[in-house]
Homo-oligomer: A and B are copies of this chain.
Amino acid sequence: MKAISMKQVHMHDEFWSKRQQLVRDVVIPYQWEVLNDRMPGAAPSHAMENFRIAAGEAEGEYAGAVFQDTDFSKWLETVGFALSLQRDEALERIADEAIDLVGRAQQPDGYLNTYFTVKKPDGKWTNLRDDHELYTAGHFIEAAVAYYRATGKRKVLDIACSLADCIAAEFGAGATQRHGYDGHPEIELALVKLYQSTGNRTYLELSKFFVDERGRQPHFFDGEQQARTESRFGQRGYDYFQSHLPVREQTTAEGHAVRAVYLYSGMADLAAEYDDRSLLDALKELWRNTTRKRMYITGGIGSSAYEERFTVDYDLPNERAYTESCAAIGLVFWANRMLQLEADGEYADVMERALYNGLLSGISLDGTKYFYVNPLEVWPSTCEHRNDMNKVKGTRQPWFACACCPPNIARLLLSLGQYMYGVNDREVYVHLYASNTFRHKIAGAELELVQQTAYPWRDKVLFSVSPDRPAEFTLALRLPAWCKNPGITVNGEPVDPASCAERGYAKITRTWQPGDKVELTLPMPVEIVRSHPALRANAGAIAVQRGPVVYCLEEADNGANLRDVTLSRNAAFSSDYDPSLLDGVVTLKTTGWRSEMPADDELYTTDVFGRRQVDLTAIPYYAWANREAGEMLVWIREQ
């Protein structure tokens, strides 16, 4: 299956389009001001000033993180995605000028990294493990590809190619070349995109080189550390960098979660490009470990704040979940690529899980505040008073406090269209449900496929299938694993999904006529979900899910001390769409139980506390922390 271009999809969705609009109208202009140190109240980014200094057009010292350039790159990539959806002359003028500046900051040999150019010219390529040098290059390349694809303007692509050529000269199997790779994967998937946009196989081969070298002995990081005097993070295990083993020998998701899923995404690209079975086998093993042993119900991954990392199987504590927004985004990247390798709905299920839950929770409804960390349970007192919870915040933080997750969420939201569909010569796969219009050439016809739905709140998805002439192909509709009784009609005639189901998709093959109507019904009763019994943190607890949306209890609706609440597995729920609440959500109402508070304050007693019935209201997990601060809980004790 192939990916589609986001230009093929025009979103007109109640749920997603307003979020995309927010990114265009609020986030992009805001971030540009921050990048230029013009946002009152925001810490100066210095990112654009670094480029001016590197270009010799300003005096001063470099400032910011070693990967400060990526703040600009992520902005530019987001701009590219925005322009793919809708051109905007004023915005392009700003971006073009910035690209010109970047071009002037680039060195004659193609090298582009203001940190090293300005601050450490002799230190280039000496500490790949820690200095994010290829990671920074990778983000610029991704941005260049996005901007080029949106505008057709080659200049930024030329800069990127020149940078990639510089890297290709430095790294490779040659005797005088460095046999290394970056501590933070990213360049791998970026080079594949550059190859796909330019056709230059050098980039693809360089990506493969990086992936093949990773974790080999003698270890590249050992060698470069010996060549240096200092070692900043020398105590980290190589599993942190996913370089503890050659990638094809890795079977468990280890180390820094964002790095892991960026690496796996690059590996998946290469598995597809090279039809590399050994890579695919490794990826399937890693996927299974990640999604069956190390993923929260929200699609969050990385359960340890320390090193933002994976830990061990089934270690998924709710109140100390790290589950960085960027890691959930990376999981979407990876899932989408796995789906292209194997048309299996399981990948799309995980993609959807992350999208509607652990990823979307990272941004406030008004788009101005963010979570790095997305816990599944919050008791604000302990966030404030326990040092072992100091990464968990009970309230979202303003954009400028963090430079990593917010732009990542922004670029994901704007590029959402490309995740909706997958295609091959005779098939159109619908992975996600949202109102949009998809245009694609298939079986000799120009297809216009229109989805209309109020997903994720309502169970109907209507498709208007309009090839410009009759055409035989397969429409493959994903049957989400959460849905037990999907229904399909084609032009009003029922089609039994079971009769045409294949690995999570209902495959409807026919000669489609302009104006054909398909109606997909995905009944979404409230479901009670349990964890595998080995997931200790959730023992005895149940979660509430409706459709793809995981719910939570929030103090604003239910009072404090949510751990005291119990819920019956047979609880009856009413579910109602409330347009005025939290930008419009379906809330779930039911009854549960709480303890009668004892008359005295004995801490330990043989008394049995009475339990009383209470009304409970659950809201979508992603929408929590948009009202007053308070407790939140996903896994509710079962009565």
Interface membership of A143, Cβ < 8 A: no
Q: Is the CB of A387 within 8 A of B307?
A: yes
A601-B379 Cα distance, complex, nearest whole Å? 31
Q: Could you say which of B311, B530, B534 contacts A606, with CB atoms under 8 Å apart?
A: B530
Q: How far is the CB of A109 from chain B (nearest CB, A)?
A: 41
Interface membership of A608, Cβ < 8 A: yes
Q: Which of A2-10, A50-58, A152-160, A290-298 contacts B (4 or more CB under 8 A)?
A: A290-298
Q: Is the CB of A601 within 8 A of B532?
A: yes
A606-B608 Cα distance, complex, nearest whole Å? 31
Closest Cβ neighbor of A550 among chain B residues: B604
Which residues does chain B contribute within 8 Å of A293, judged by CB atoms? 601, 603
Interface membership of A453, Cβ < 8 A: no
- Chain A contacts with B in 371-386, Cβ cutoff 8 A: 379, 381-382, 385-386
A113-B175 Cα distance, complex, nearest whole Å? 63
Which residues does chain B contribute within 8 Å of A530, judged by CB atoms? 604-609
- Chain A contacts with B in 547-575, Cβ cutoff 8 A: 561, 563-564, 566, 569
Closest Cβ neighbor of A607 among chain B residues: B530
Q: Could you say which of B315, B528, B602, B605 contacts A386, with CB atoms under 8 Å apart?
A: B315
Q: A387-B306, A540-B540 are in contact. Are A529 and B315 (CB under 8 A)?
A: no
Q: How far is the CB of A582 from chain B (nearest CB, A)?
A: 24
Q: A386-B304, A386-B315, A564-B539 are in contact. Are A291 and B533 (CB under 8 A)?
A: no
Q: Is the CB of B535 within 8 A of A603?
A: yes
Q: How far is the CB of A255 from chain B (nearest CB, A)?
A: 12
Which residues does chain B contribute within 8 Å of A295, judged by CB atoms? 603
Interface membership of A597, Cβ < 8 A: yes
Q: Could you say which of B292, B382, B605, B609 contacts A601, with CB atoms under 8 Å apart?
A: B292
A315-B381 Cα distance, complex, nearest whole Å? 9
A539-B561 Cα distance, complex, nearest whole Å? 10
A606-B481 Cα distance, complex, nearest whole Å? 11
Interface membership of A637, Cβ < 8 A: yes
Closest Cβ neighbor of A606 among chain B residues: B527
Q: Is the CB of A609 within 8 A of B307?
A: no
Interface membership of A536, Cβ < 8 A: yes
A51-B297 Cα distance, complex, nearest whole Å? 60
Interface string of A508-520 (1 = CB under 8 A from B): 0000000000000
Q: Could you say which of B291, B312, B531, B563 contacts A381, with CB atoms under 8 Å apart?
A: B312
Q: Is the CB of B388 within 8 A of A606?
A: no
Q: A532-B602, A637-B540 are in contact. Are A306 and B386 (CB under 8 A)?
A: yes
Interface membership of A598, Cβ < 8 A: yes
Interface membership of A320, Cβ < 8 A: yes
Q: Could you say which of B304, B533, B597 contacts A561, with CB atoms under 8 Å apart?
A: B533
Interface membership of A595, Cβ < 8 A: yes
Which residues does chain B contribute within 8 Å of A533, judged by CB atoms? 561, 564, 594-595, 597-598, 609
Q: How far is the CB of A316 from chain B (nearest CB, A)?
A: 9
Which residues does chain B contribute within 8 Å of A604, judged by CB atoms? 297, 529-532, 543
Interface membership of A305, Cβ < 8 A: yes
Closest Cβ neighbor of A322 among chain B residues: B388
Which residues does chain B contribute within 8 Å of A305, judged by CB atoms? 387-388
Which residues does chain B contribute within 8 Å of A605, judged by CB atoms? 529-530, 532
Q: How far is the CB of A173 from chain B (nearest CB, A)?
A: 36
Q: Is the CB of B536 within 8 A of A561?
A: yes
Given A312-B381, A312-B382, A539-B564; 12 other pairs, CB 8 A cutoff: A292-B601, A304-B388, A320-B388, A529-B605, A530-B608, A533-B564, A533-B597, A533-B598, A534-B561, A534-B564, A534-B597, A536-B561
- 17 residue pairs from A and B, CB less than 8 Å apart: A288-B601, A291-B603, A292-B601, A293-B601, A297-B603, A304-B386, A311-B382, A388-B389, A530-B605, A530-B607, A530-B609, A531-B603, A531-B604, A532-B601, A533-B594, A533-B595, A536-B563
Q: Which 8 A-B pairs have the closest CB atoms?
A: A306-B387, A533-B595, A539-B563, A536-B563, A388-B388, A311-B385, A312-B381, A292-B601
